[in-house]
Amino acid sequence: MNLNGTHVAMVTPLDKDNNVDEEKFRNLIDFLIEGNVDGLLAAGTTGESATLTHEEHQKVIDILIDQANGKVTTIAGAGSNSTIEAQSLVEYSENAGADAALVITPYYNKPQQYGMYKHFKLLNDNNDIPIIAYNVPSRTGVDLSVDTIVDLAKLDNIVAMKEANPDLNKLANLFSELRKNDVYDKFTVLSGNDSLTVPMIAQGAKGIISVIANVMPARFSEMVNFALDGNFEEARVISDELFDMMDVLFIEASPAPTKRALNLMDVPVGGLRLPIDEMCEENDKILQGILKNHNLI
């Protein structure tokens, strides 16, 4: 399985009754595949996984795998702050036929480094599906250290990580240690921050799990492909062009701006699950202005 390229952290479309909208979800999958992305992630943070029931979580994974039908890499969000629950979700993802499972570091518990290592090792030892570790300290309160990441990279089924810590000094150290330990070639690092994708690829990352690619899949994929081909000047030009969009999609709690943008673009995805609510009027005007500047509305 090749995890290089642009993978979309998909929003989860909801209907007027706030239930998962299967038709809208299938249409969104088609829209993104037509945008030449390399992979799709269902039930990640941007997919409001924290407010999906277990049954809904499984449903969106099943819909993704069925609708993608082998056209792109399918990644199932399978994380939890409970190791037992994470094991259940990873096992379901494997049985459902996902290509990989994305597992966030346990949130709120604030476990020790060796506790997080044991969490991932248990998932590694009890499943055969490739696992992507997801490090996002701004949301979880914990940060996988370089040493812990290298130890995870030595496990057979921990094949990649989504790194959303914006510390590029840490990232440079990580790539150095991965190479020293002869695991760089077997372990894929993916950016977890859209705006840092180009510099992260320059350091050794192989792609991104992206939010902006929900809205501008083709143009963002073009940027990633330029960077992966070593054409950093063209990649930088596109990164500069898209920076305002990458920035505004986090002007309020994600995925509120992304869902609003898609709805304005006539790619209907419905509303949000509380406690995340609709955008305030002032920020909505800013978002609409940027969408107009990019000729999206």
Give the Cα separation of 261 and 258 in Å (integer). Answer: 5
Nearest one of 11, 70, 74 to 40, comparing CA atoms: 74
Please report which confidence band the pLDDT of residue 1 belongs to, taking 50, 70 and 90 as the band edges: confident
What average pLDDT does the segment 197-211 reach? 97
Annotated active-site residue in 92, 107, 117, 134: 134
Q: Is 154 a catalytic residue?
A: no
Annotated active-site residue in 24, 162, 206, 259: 162
The H helix count followed by the E strand count for the chain is 12, 8
Nearest one of 104, 112, 99, 123 to 147, comparing CA atoms: 112
Angle CA 219–160–146, to nearest 5: 110
pLDDT at 44: 96
Single-letter amino acid, residue 238: I
pLDDT at 55: 95
For 266, residues 6+ apart whose C-beta sits below 8 A from its C-beta are none
Q: Is 134 a catalytic residue?
A: yes
pLDDT at 211: 98
